[in-house]
């Protein structure tokens, strides 16, 4: 027993000597390689779980943009961009662990977020402390960017709950002629953020009033009791906030009740197999998007569509792009970040943040950005940049 122990200690010591020897060699090797070192960019998103499609959609947008940038010779004098992905499984603690790993182990220059607002909200304090730019490309909770920290390292190229909520009520009253809104919201921080936003939007919109607010859980099977309360309160439109699977349970319960009330939804339902999960009434829900690949596309849109079809052979046309907002937002966000890194002249977090806040003009997919961010506005998109759409079969088409 004793002998075995001494051997193992001996071995460990030998390894230690070897490793420390290597460490001496390391700086020299490192310096030579620096010019060609890739710039690592992190991505924390749901790559598995109920919202896995959203993560894949973001990946596609980022990857096509990165391919374009690398094809033009990369950034900062020839350094290629490398995407390092981590799965948050839609779980805030996992997302936080993943972000830590990307920042401390992978030393990423910046990182992108995913669909789930609770995950992004968990990451915000970390990136502000470590001074690493964090760009949201989907999660819409208002406090993600408006987090009260100065300087603020959190940016977003996506919808913002506050603005979306205004748009949802406007669509309900102007397009659908509704006067009494029943809110059916997921019971988590994202639902809460929208409850506040919808109440504020309601105060500024004299044409519609909120008559009831109900919550539901991710694992609720049957929401007939909640919907019954809203029906009893006289709701003539449902405002839905939730992801694809629980959102589908709302639609199925509504169908089961035989209640033909129109549904206006935040975009969470577009992050999974909503048409399959919700069944025949999936198309009844109108929801918000930042971009639609249908209709006439601007030159950037045509270029991106062609690139996506080339890189992902299963994409034959706009109808095959699932979760299009993830791809569209991520594509624009990656190009904006690249521009900022080039402008900053380094991968230093604070330099990139300042560059993002003074970016100038960029001809993007969703729009032509003109100083998209400033010291006080870290959201690149506003209510006028949104479009309302619905499912037609598996396709997402604009609401006429």
Partner 1 sequence: MLLISALITGLGLGSMYGLLALGFYVTYAVSNTVNFAQGSTMMLGAVLAFTFGVTLGWPMWIAVALAIILCAVWGVIVERVAVNPFVVRGSNSWLMATVALGIILENVVLFTFGKDPRGMPPSVLTTEAFYVADIKIQPLQIVIPVTGLAIAVCMQYLSTRTKYGKALLAVVQNADAARLMGINVTVAILAAFALSGLFAGIAGVLIAPLFTISASMGTLFGIKAFAVAILGGITNPWGVVVAGLIYGLAEASITALLGSTYTQIVTFSLVILALALRPHGLFGQAAVKKV
Binding site for partner 1 (CB under 8 A): 48-50, 52-53, 89, 187, 214-216, 219, 221-222, 224-226, 228-229, 231-232, 244-245, 248-249, 252-253, 255-258, 272-273, 276-280
Shortest gap between Cβ of 264 and partner 1 (angstroms)? 20
When the beta carbons of 225 and 317 are compared against partner 1, the nearer one is 225
Contact (Cβ atoms closer than 8 angstroms) between residue 34 and residue 282:
no
CB of 112 vs partner 1, minimal distance in Å = 21
Nearer to partner 1, 216 or 331 (CB): 216
Q: To the nearest whole angstrom, how small is the minimum distance from the Cβ of residue 285 to partner 1?
A: 15
Instruction: Tell me how crowded residue 282 is: count the other CB atoms within 10 A of its CB.
Output: 24
C-beta of 303: minimal distance to partner 1 in Å? Answer: 30
In 3D, which of 147, 363, 369 has the Cα closest to residue 136?
Answer: 147
In the complex with partner 1, the residue whose CB is nearer, 271 or 318, is 271
Q: How far is the CB of 278 from partner 1 (least distance, A)?
A: 7
HEC profile for 95-142? HHHHHHHHHHHCCCCEEECCCCHHHHHHHHHHHHHHCCCEEECCCCCH
Q: If we measure between CA atoms, which residue out of 220, 260, 263 comes closest to residue 239?
A: 263
CB closer to partner 1 out of 158 and 253: 253
Closest to partner 1 by CB, 256 or 310: 256
The CA-based angle 390-393-45, given to 5 degrees, is: 65
Give the nearer residue to partner 1 in terms of CB position, either 40 or 273: 273
Helix (H, G, I), strand (E, B) or coil at 153: coil
Q: Please say which residue, 162 or 214, places its beta carbon nearer to partner 1.
A: 214
Q: What tokens does 82 get?
A: 């490398």
How far apart are alpha carbons 210 and 198 in whole angstroms?
8
Torsion of CA 377, 378, 383, 385, to 10 degrees: 120
The least distance separating partner 1 from the CB of residue 219, rounded to whole angstroms, comes to 5
Q: How far is the CB of 254 from partner 1 (least distance, A)?
A: 11
**384 vs 262: CA distance, rounded Å:** 23
């Amino acid at each position: 027993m004793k002998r075995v122990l001494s051997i193992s200690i001996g071995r460990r010591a030998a390894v230690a000597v070897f490793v420390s020897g290597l460490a001496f060699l390391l700086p020299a090797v490192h310096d030579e390689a620096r010019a060609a070192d890739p710039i690592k960019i992190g991505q924390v998103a749901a790559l598995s779980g109920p919202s896995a499609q959203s993560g894949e959609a973001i990946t596609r947008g980022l990857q096509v943009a990165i391919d374009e940038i690398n094809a033009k010779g990369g950034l900062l004098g020839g350094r290629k961009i490398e995407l390092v992905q981590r799965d948050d499984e839609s779980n805030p603690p996992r997302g936080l662990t993943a972000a830590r790993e990307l920042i401390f182990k992978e030393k990423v220059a910046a990182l992108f977020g995913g669909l789930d607002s609770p995950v992004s909200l968990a990451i915000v304090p970390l990136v502000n402390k470590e001074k690493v730019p964090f760009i949201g490309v989907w999660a819409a909770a208002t406090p993600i960017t408006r987090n009260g920290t100065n300087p603020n390292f959190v940016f977003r190229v996506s919808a913002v709950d506050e603005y979306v909520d205004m748009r949802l009520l406007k669509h309900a009253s102007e397009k659908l002629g509704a006067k009494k809104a029943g809110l059916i919201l997921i019971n988590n921080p994202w639902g809460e953020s929208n409850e506040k936003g919808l109440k504020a939007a309601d105060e500024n919109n004299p044409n519609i009033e909120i008559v009831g607010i109900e919550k539901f859980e991710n694992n609720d099977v049957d929401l007939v009791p909640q919907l019954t309360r809203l029906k009893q309160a006289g709701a003539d439109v449902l405002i839905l906030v939730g992801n694809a699977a629980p959102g589908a349970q709302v639609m199925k319960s509504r169908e089961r009740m035989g209640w033909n009330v129109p549904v206006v939804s935040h975009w969470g339902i577009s992050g999974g197999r909503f048409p399959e999960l919700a069944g025949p009434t999936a198309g009844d829900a109108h929801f918000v998007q930042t971009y639609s690949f249908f209709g006439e596309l601007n030159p950037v849109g045509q270029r991106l569509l062609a690139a996506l079809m080339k890189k992902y052979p299963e994409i034959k046309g706009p109808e095959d792009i699932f979760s299009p907002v993830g791809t569209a937002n991520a594509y624009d966000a990656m190009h904006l970040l690249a521009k900022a890194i080039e402008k900053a002249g380094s991968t230093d977090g604070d330099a990139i943040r300042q560059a993002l806040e003074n970016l100038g003009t960029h001809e993007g997919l969703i729009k032509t950005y003109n100083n998209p961010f400033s010291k006080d506005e870290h959201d690149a998109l506003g209510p006028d940049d949104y479009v309302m759409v619905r499912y037609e079969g598996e396709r997402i088409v604009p609401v006429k």
